[in-house]
Amino acid sequence: MTYTPRFGRLLTAMVTPFNADSSLDLPRAQELAVRLLDQGTQGLVINGTTGESPTISRDERCQLFEAVIDAVGADVPLVANVGDNCTEDSVEFAKRVTALKGGRINGIMVVTPYYNKPPQEGIYQHMRAVAEVVDVPVVVYNIPGRCVVNIDPETIIRLAADVPNIRALKQANDDLNQLDSIIGNTPDDFEIFAGDDAFTLPNISKGGVGVISTIGNIAAPAMRAMIDAYVAGEFDLAKSYDQTLRPLQDELFVTANPILVKRALALLDFPVGPVRLPLVNATDAQTAQLQQVMSDTFRRLDEL
């Protein structure tokens, strides 16, 4: 595998740190960005689902984007989530975000319009409308578990063919037949990222490039080692990492993301504050179970 992905293979979807009063904690966001890069993350996705985008205003998002830009080097790939369920608003916000700090954002992510339940033609027109007002690569985000509607492979293939800067897909749909269809009918430089951590190796094995990761917030070194091992042809080692990480990957999603990944960071002595309503903080029982799974996982990782 000699292809070098434009954003890297391990992108972490950063949580968004808050103060105790639920206001943005921008200094902590900067510290988190640096921490993740130091631990092996190659690029950052800012204010995606894991970053609690539905409860963060557009002004706050821009403050967050600028804070992260200021914290990291000029060569770090930064992908900003700009998508919404209103096409006109998404278009205007995409233009605003890509102008920040002299155009420092390297790419934008656009999710399937949620709640509207658009037909495939509506999804196509939405993605195209946003992509055509910016000059950076666009990552289409397909997450039917949250948005109800799946982006059919034919729609993704059409977008990749028709819109020059739609150059990547975050595929939070683990249907391997759909993945095969997309990979077999899109350009070689159309990059597919797993949207679920557990789907990372199946995605790469089929020709995808990597993952936009939630667990990367707390286990970036292991995720990076797993991906690097697979790319280097060390398949047994990669599988061992995958099997070791799986219980923790599953545990982080026993309740709505990012409730438990935020609690996990606190358990690692890197607190990032509460979640915003309508999410609620982890219960004592959830915390105890998470702590046990984390302890078991990190002990087993140390043994690899």
- Contact of 51 with 83, CB cutoff 8 Å: no
Nearest CA among 56, 45, 52 for reference residue 13:
45
Q: Please give the Cα distance from 301 to 240 (Å, whole number).
A: 9
Q: Please give the Cα distance from 207 to 300 (Å, whole number).
A: 29
For residue 224, give both structure tokens. 């990076």
Q: Please give the Cα distance from 293 to 178 (Å, whole number).
A: 32
Q: DSSP alpha helices (H): ranges in the chain?
A: 26-38, 58-71, 87-98, 120-131, 144-147, 153-162, 176-184, 200-206, 216-231, 235-251, 259-267, 284-302
Active site residue 115: no
User: Of the listed 115, 117, 124, 141, which one is catalytic?
Assistant: 141
Active site residue 170: yes
User: Of the listed 170, 230, 241, 262, which one is catalytic?
Assistant: 170
**Which are the catalytic amino acids?**
141, 170
